[in-house]
Structure 1
Amino acid sequence: MRRSWGELLFDLSNSLFLILLSLFTLYPFLYVLFASLSDPIWAMQVRGLIWYPKGLNWEAYRMVFQNPSIITGYTNTLLYVVLGTSLNILMTSFGAYALSRQQLMWKNPVMFLIVFTMFFNGGLIPTYLLINDLGMVDSRLALIIPAAMSAYNLIIMRTAFMGVPVSLEESAKLDGANDFTVLFRVILPLSMPVVAVMILFYGVAHWNSWFSALIYLRTRDLYPLQLILREILITNSTDSMMTNIGGSDKVPTGETIKYATIIVATAPILFLYPFLQKYFVKGVMIGAIKG
């Protein structure tokens, strides 16, 4: 099938536009990366864009990884991501499976109440009072239990479960399977794309979460990495990492430490995307087409 010059020109223009858009999106991350690897004084003096690291200085990263607060924040964040995402997937799967069954009573009113929470909520103060009355303030549970399920993700997973043929469920129940067996051995294995997308959504949300920790946590040993990063970037708390540096070198070195901290806090979640990317479009489109 021959294509006209207009179609070829459109495809070329579209490709160039997307390439430029990708570069504009990627460059801020590259700027921070190049600045973190550059000589601190040069990075402070340069004006405009940075296209390469000058000096290839790893001192900022060494100071970041020697900071015990960063290590503690990393450990806490990994714990919140693993436990929180596991609970999220479990609770969302239970809710989506129940709401996707045709025989469930009061299914539509329940769905209405769930969707209602996407537009209206009690607000910060009632939520804090509830968490406080439950005894979860200054506890890891305050970052895991209240965010156990997202209404938006529940709708996406419910739509995916509704796409599984009912005959498979009926066959499993004829063989003696109960609802838990149907969910874990029939429904979930056939819905792995949407499960992978849910892991990505929930995992990124837990990794980037800092406001809940700021509100509910008092003990510094429970702080996630993003809250430590906020302190370093906003309150300029880099002096503890520069015990061997003095004089005029402290300011430029502190700036490169900030850049290095951003890279350290961002890189792990970026490495997760390639492994889940092949499921991403399919999983999201399941909810978009039938939702």
Structure 2
Amino acid sequence: MSAAITRAAGRRSRPAAHTTGRTPASVPVRGLKGLVLLIACGVVVLPFVGVISTSLADDRQVTRAGGLVLWPDHPSLDAYRAIFAGGMVTRALLVSIGVTAVGTALSLVCTTLLAYGLSRPGSFAHRPLLLTVLFTVLFAPGMIPSYLVVKQLGLLNSYWSLIVPALINGFNVIVMRSFFLDLPQELLDAARIDGAGEWQLLRRVVLPLSKAVIAVVGLFYAVAYWNNYISALLYINDSARWPLQLVLRTYVVDGTTIGVDSAHIAGVVPPPQQSLQMATLVVALVPIAALYPFLQRHFAKGILVGAVKG
């Protein structure tokens, strides 16, 4: 009797299928969803596979495939050896890494300070500064005014011309300010009661709770600095100071020959032009793509979960 009562209670405790509001998808529906997802992944991955494969292919296979190889018959690193032998791609890669690292660090510092100041009610010139930031988001400066400002500051043909004009992005300021406004006020009030000033409050309370938004905004800045070639095209006259993206544009758009002279000097048959261009594109993609796995955990992590106990 007791066993029967226990089984009945167990059946009553299990929710009925119709009370959950969800019906399990049928096998054909799940198969269709999987097929659509597989096609979407193929559309995204296929261009990357083509770029990498073409950079590893030889001249005959590139010609036979019409310029885009999906799988190289005899993979070779000759294209990469050729572009790095000339020295220009190596120098441009170092320039891009330096500009991206320095620019991202400075932009994060300036954006964090500005966003924190705008998130504190009663701060100095709060409303005028906030309206100025919103104005820059709605109305971007033109190319000629930007060039004249950079020229008046004496930054032409300088690496700072690639950093200073993009130092603070209004959209990123708004995103970080909104995150700061959503922080639990109880934590900030408790820190003030303990005698913390604004600088200590920012350094010891706000920043440790803001790792997620700092990582996201930092990624936005890093991608923007890495992919920016317009500033170099406008402000940099010396090709030795060009970043990698401008070199890549010159190779692909203008059809400039890449590394052929160096390949002849080394006694190696020069790789096809398409392979050289794709190899340069791979070199430009890998460093910034390598950041995503390290920042992915900050996108999904709940920073504020359990911070305030009610």
* Alignment TM-score, normalising by the size of structure 2: 0.82
Kept in 2: contact 1:36–1:256 (CA 8 A): yes
Q: Which amino acid aligns with 1:152?
A: F
**Percentage identity across aligned positions?**
34
- The yes-or-no answer on 1:151 pairing with 2:170 is yes
Equivalent runs, 1:117-128 vs 2, <5 Å: 117-128=136-147
**1 CA distance for matches of 2:59 and 2:151?**
45
Report the equivalent of 1:210. Answer: 229
The answer as to whether partners of 1:169 and 1:186 remain within 8 angstroms in 2 is yes
Partner residue of 1:110 out of 129, 132, 144: 129
Aligned-partner Cα distance in 2 for 1:10–1:192? 40
5+ unaligned residues in a row in structure 1: which ranges?
Answer: 284-291
1:267 corresponds in structure 2 to 286
Deviations 1:167-218 (A, max 9, x none): 2222223333222221122101101111110111111111111000100111
How well do the aligned residues superpose, as a CA RMSD in angstroms? 2.4
Structure 2 gaps, min length 5: 1-15, 303-310
- Provide closer, same or farther for how the CA distance between residues 49 and 36 of structure 1 changes in structure 2, counting only shifts above 3 A: closer
1:122-180, Cα deviation, whole Å (9 max, x unpaired): 31111111110111111111111111111111111111111211222222233332222
Which residue in the other structure is 2:152 paired with? 133
Q: Secondary structure at the match of 1:118?
A: helix
Aligned length: 280
Cα displacement string for residues 22-49 of structure 1 (whole angstroms, at most 9, x for unaligned residues): 2101111110101111122211221487
Match of 1:287 in 2: none
* Counterpart-to-counterpart distance in 1, 2:191 and 2:24: 55
Superposition map of 1:1-291 within 5 A: 2=17, 4=23, 6=25, 10-47=29-66, 50-104=69-123, 107-245=126-264, 253-280=272-299
The CA distance in 2 between the partners of 1:139 and 1:243, in whole Å, is: 28
Q: Contact 1:131 / 1:142 at 8 angstroms: preserved in 2?
A: yes
Are 1:66 and 1:241, in contact at CA under 8 Å, matched by a contact in 2? no
* Residue 241 of structure 1, CA deviation: 3.4
Report the TM-score when normalising by structure 1: 0.88
State the alpha-carbon separation in 1 of the partners of residues 130 and 237 from structure 2. 36
Question: Retained in 2: the 8 A contact 1:210–1:224?
Answer: yes
Q: C-alpha displacement at 1:7, in angstroms?
A: 6.4
